[in-house]
Structure 1
């Protein structure tokens, strides 16, 4: 089935577009991000990047540019199944439908060049490669000024791919450098309507939607229609960027025979606060299987200590003795982490 014949082709066309913003400079971009609680697109934000300009010449020119910047290290690469239409997902046994290996970048690029124009070629994908760790000068030459944010700078390289809808805890600015990318985005609260898969057996560390966006089964996933009512879609050309607030769901497709994306992740809270997903995983292990009355008790305890007024559980304790019930610092969070590690190791 080609994209034009897909049941989703008309649905994509009917989706609301992701709003677009005009950004004049770094100050305007910073203000737009700080004010936004929904995604937005900036056309041409990184059009002047050397990587973008190389890709506009040809896919091979982009590969040559990247290869010249590479460090002499092995890269992790995922290779999917021929005829999968680029979908990197589960197989029928809920194992991954791709294999993961390591190789030198010129060898990987040589393989991509040999198959990129073949119909039904197996997808090849280098995901979330740290730009500073694997390239020399690439992040400096291809850079978005995001002020004093503590950034994780990653590059994603591959053939035609389809990445299932997922979300990320950090905030995200994703820049289409080579090829074309389609983003289909959903608000945070739509997770119930996306039919998420396992949280511990995932393609890339985050739970993903089990819905095939190119061939949705509305009998098996009837609430997906409600998710679509809240969806927005955009196709990014080289140089375009999309801002994704924390925890927004996004389904991402590389539409060209060769595609490169650069993204920036950051948190607005200190990293020492930890990952909320870890707390959810621990709660599943320790609370979910309890009797109903005990679960109700722990729901109240979470409301009291976590989701309610933080002053309430500590107001009666002298300020110097509140320990982790007081406002967290790097030191008190470190003590709490150490306590948790000791408890979990028993």
Structure 2
């Protein structure tokens, strides 16, 4: 694993004293040492891998789970095939016991097969688990149902998420390496589709980077920050920060919470990105620069600038977007795109 220049800021904090508003306002990553050390799952994992697995089995409702499986050559890194047109892992569906038994059977292997259950909503497969293993963000008015990630020494290649994130290391250690949004060009993102996990990922192999092919990655490393989370630790990852996550132990479980800073009726900007790739990117440079000015005026400047000189009743989409207006915008866009 390459070395990055910085270390992620750390604080020691208990779950009932989580400074959530301050974290979001800071817009920078923070390691939250000991945040979930009192979770029963964390304590089971500290006693043994077997006990942690049995603890999970005790809540599992028997419904099938979808997981990625890769032979030993995958080396724990779900990624693209050599031509970047497919993924190097198989997507399988079975009961959780198959996954846990496979991980346990290869726990001592130097090059085990890859097993990875990713982003599984806790409540859909583990009813009751949250009673003793939850941050209870709902009590703070945040709708962030937790997801669980179960695997062995799996690496989630560097990517970003559109939402804010608190990721909790429940079983096993994980190394997080983060980069600010402006490093996107130096991280060399792969295709938007397909992707190993729903988002475009950096195509740089962090374990053996090719600096001749990806020279800008040196600049990314200079801007990066890293930390190793022990079981019971957590990390706040601001929205749109790139993060590379490496499982360091034979059995790892992570629980994370994603949430939006805007109401649910505001859709993801990824829709706008695809639309802009389609409608703007390939226009003549003069037109692209003109559209940049237009977007700066309407979108990226102060929210009240474009309509501030108009009477409130005349602003329509130039004023605040509420749920009713969001429905109207959606209907209008669908109608225009279907012509």
Q: TM-score, normalised by structure 2?
A: 0.94
CA RMSD for the aligned pairs?
A: 1.6
Q: Which residue does 1:47 correspond to in 2?
A: 37
CA contact (8 A) 1:84 1:120 kept: no
Greater shift, 265-274 or 205-214, is seen at 265-274
CA contact (8 A) 1:79 1:124 kept: yes
2:106 maps to 1:115:
yes
Query: Are positions 1:60 and 2:53 aligned together?
Result: no
Match of 1:80 among 70, 83, 92: 70
Structure 1 residues 310, 54: CA separation in 2 closer, same or farther (over 3 Å shift)?
closer
Q: After superposition, where does 1:1-346 map in structure 2 within 5 Å?
A: 8=1, 11-12=2-3, 15-24=5-14, 26-94=16-84, 95-146=86-137, 147-346=140-339
**What are the ranges of 5 or more consecutive residues in structure 1 without an aligned counterpart?**
1-7
Q: Per the alignment, in what secondary structure is the counterpart of residue 299 of structure 2? A: helix
Cα distance in 2 for residues equivalent to 1:172 and 1:105? 25
Separation in 1 of the partners of 2:13 and 2:67? 35
Larger displacement relative to structure 2 (114-123 or 161-170): 114-123
Number of aligned residue pairs: give it: 336
Partners of 2:190 and 2:227 lie apart in 1 by: 25
Query: In 1, Cα distance between the equivalents of 2:224 and 2:265?
Result: 33
Unaligned segments of structure 2, at least 5 residues: none
- Secondary structure of 1:136 counterpart: coil
| Cα distance change of structure 1 residues 343 and 117 upon mapping to structure 2, 3 Å threshold | farther
Moved more, 53-62 or 286-295: 286-295
Q: How high is the TM-score relative to the length of structure 1? A: 0.92
Q: Could you report, residue by residue, the CA deviation over 1:230-267 in whole angstroms, capped at 9, with x for unpaired residues? A: 11111111101111111111000111001000011111
Shift of 1:315: 3.8
How far off is 1:293 after superposition? 3.0
Contact in 1 for aligned 2:103/2:250 (Cα 8 Å): no
Q: Quick check: 175-184 or 40-49, which moved more?
A: 40-49
Structure 1 segments of 4+ aligned residues over 6 angstroms from their partners = none
